[in-house]
């Protein structure tokens, strides 16, 4: 158990809909990262938050947004869903901001999103 909790584990929805994925980081970790993993691709970095502030942005679509709350949990919002958004979405946490280069990421078990 990594200590990172993601809910829900599975989500099935229709095209055009909006969903929210939730992540609770390990106790004490200030950074939260979101990744997307499609069948034909590796892990794609989406976005990182550190202590409530956006720290880095990767290949995140404009239809997607995220935030980190004062209690440090994070939510990834996916809107106007398309078939191609079907994927595993992972959350990871770390203690530091990411500006340092000596830190480990701890991953949750992921949310499997199926858009029908």
User: Are 43 and 37 within 8 A, CB to CB?
Assistant: yes
From residue 47 to residue 76, the character string flagging contacts with other proteins as x (rule: CB under 8 A) and all else as - is -x------xx-x------------------
Give min distance, CB of 18 to other proteins, in A.
24
Helix (H, G, I), strand (E, B) or coil at 38: coil
* Residue 19 CB partners (closer than 8 Å, separation 6+): 11, 13, 77, 78, 81, 113
Of the listed pieces 10-18, 19-27, 35-43, 66-74, which binds other proteins according to CB under 8 A?
A: 35-43
Residue ranges in 41-110 assigned as alpha helix (H): none
Chosen residue from 30, 108, 113, 115 binding other proteins by CB under 8 A = 108
Query: Cα separation of 61 and 45, whole Å?
Result: 11
> Considering the rule CB under 8 A, would residue 27 count as an interface residue with other proteins?
no
Residues that bind other proteins (CB under 8 A): 2, 4, 33, 35, 41-45, 48, 55-56, 58, 88, 90, 92, 98-99, 101-110, 112
């Amino acid at each position: 158990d990594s200590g990172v909790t993601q809910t829900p584990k599975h989500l099935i929805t229709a095209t055009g809909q909006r969903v929210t994925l939730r992540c609770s980081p390990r106790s004490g970790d200030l950074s939260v990262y979101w990744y997307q993993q499609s069948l034909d691709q590796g892990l794609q970095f989406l976005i990182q938050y550190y202590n409530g502030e956006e720290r880095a942005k990767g290949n995140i679509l404009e239809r997607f947004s995220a935030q980190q709350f004062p209690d440090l949990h994070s939510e990834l919002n996916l809107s106007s869903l398309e078939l191609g958004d079907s994927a595993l979405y992972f959350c990871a946490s770390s203690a530091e901001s990411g500006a340092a280069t000596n830190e480990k990421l701890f991953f949750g078990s992921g949310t499997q999103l199926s858009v029908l």
